[in-house]
Amino acid sequence: MLVRIAGNLARFVLSLLAATLAVFALMRVLPGDPAAIAAGENATPEVVAGLAKQFGTDRPLPVQYWDWFSGLWRGDFGVSYVTRTDISPLVADKVQVSLILVTLAMALALAIAIPAGTIAAVRHNKPSGAVIAAASQLGIAVPGFLLGIVLVSFFALRLGWLPANGWVAPGVDFAGFLARLVLPVIALAGVQSAILVRYVRSAVLEVMHEDYLRTARAKGLSPLGALVRHGLRNAAIPVLTVTSVQFSALIIGAVVIERVFVIPGLGSMLLSAVGNRDLLTVQSVVMVLVAITLVVNLLVDVLYTIVDPRIRAAAQGER
């Protein structure tokens, strides 16, 4: 089991390494010299060269990559070419906001999807099951930012129950923090729960056809008892996979939701950096978002090893 987890860790580190290379190649090599971009179109070569020296972009690319990469390791993203400020403290600040949003949304999505999907599977040939399945089909089609717009127009602007947008740190005003969190979390969780319902439903339906569930029934367990005692843990395995895949969708979904609700998270930081052509900041934020995705994948891989003894055994070479 430990061997397996060590393997997961090794793969995670390799993926992270590859991701830094990919991000660096895309953001730093493709667009050309940031000094030229920062200096503007009419700048003289001397000005550009001066900026390049200042930014360090006159050095060979591998050196620049190593510089950036070793900085990442220490949590130092460098200084923005545009705003000339340190990127790291900003990122550290905003990442908390985004993580709160994303984690709560995933928790809510799972809290809705697991029971709803299970009911939809158990009652798959009854009206209630069909209604849940149809609702999830509808829900999948409504992107998070659209749901956000609907929620804002109705609950905030029409009814005035909740603030339409903004953000307050929990330490400052906890009630206000919660109030501003409700709509964006629902908007983010909505699509996710619709997607997850489908996967939970099909995973549960799948195990309902398994031989070991028939065995459980042959032992004298009730249909529900058999499902709870033997089915759900088995059904959890494919759902785990989907959850890890959907987490990356949720993170990118949060970028858009932050725009809808004017929340100062990584998404807003990313979008304003794109607007300013502040490529080093874009590069840093993208790297953080990708790293979060990879960490979640790692956690899910480790969870697998804990849930499924077969995977544990595969690493031990049978018995």
Contact set for another protein, span 236-255 (CB under 8 A): 245, 248-249, 251-252, 255
Q: Does 259 engage in binding with another protein (CB under 8 A)?
A: yes
Q: What angle do CA 127, 150, 187 make, to 5 degrees?
A: 75
Q: Which of 191, 307, 166 is nearest to 253 (CA)?
A: 191
149 binds another protein (CB under 8 A): yes
- Convert residues 124-143 into a mask of x (bound to another protein by CB under 8 A) and - (unbound): xx----x--xx-xxx-xxxx
Q: Residue 267 carries which side chain, given as an amino acid letter? A: G
- Say whether residue 104 binds another protein (CB under 8 A): no
H-helix or E-strand containing 34? helix 34-39
List of long-range contacts for 163-170, beta carbons under 8 Å, 24+ apart: 164/261, 165/260, 165/261, 165/262, 165/263, 166/261, 166/262, 166/263, 167/97, 167/262, 167/263, 167/264, 167/265
Nearer to another protein, 138 or 172 (CB): 138
Q: How many CB atoms lie within 10 A of CB 277?
A: 14
Question: Cβ of residue 170: shortest distance to another protein, in angstroms?
Answer: 27
The one among 239, 282, 288, 298 contacting another protein by CB under 8 A:
282
64 contributes a contact to another protein by CB under 8 A: no
Q: How many Å apart are CA 216 and CA 229, to the nearest integer? A: 9
214 binds another protein (CB under 8 A): yes
Q: Does 171 bind another protein (CB under 8 A)?
A: no
Nearer to another protein, 39 or 294 (CB): 294
Q: Least Å distance between CB 80 and another protein?
A: 13
User: Counting contacts by CB under 8 A, is residue 216 touching another protein?
Assistant: yes
Interface with another protein includes 38 (CB under 8 A)? Answer: no
Cβ proximity to another protein: between 90 and 290 the closer is 290
- Cβ-contact 88, 77 below 8 angstroms: yes
- Judged by CB under 8 A, the residue of 36, 205, 239, 240 near another protein is 205
* 254: Cβ contacts below 8 Å, ≥ 6 apart: 98, 101, 102, 105, 188, 265, 266, 267
Q: Which of 19, 49, 168, 299 touches another protein by CB under 8 A?
A: 19
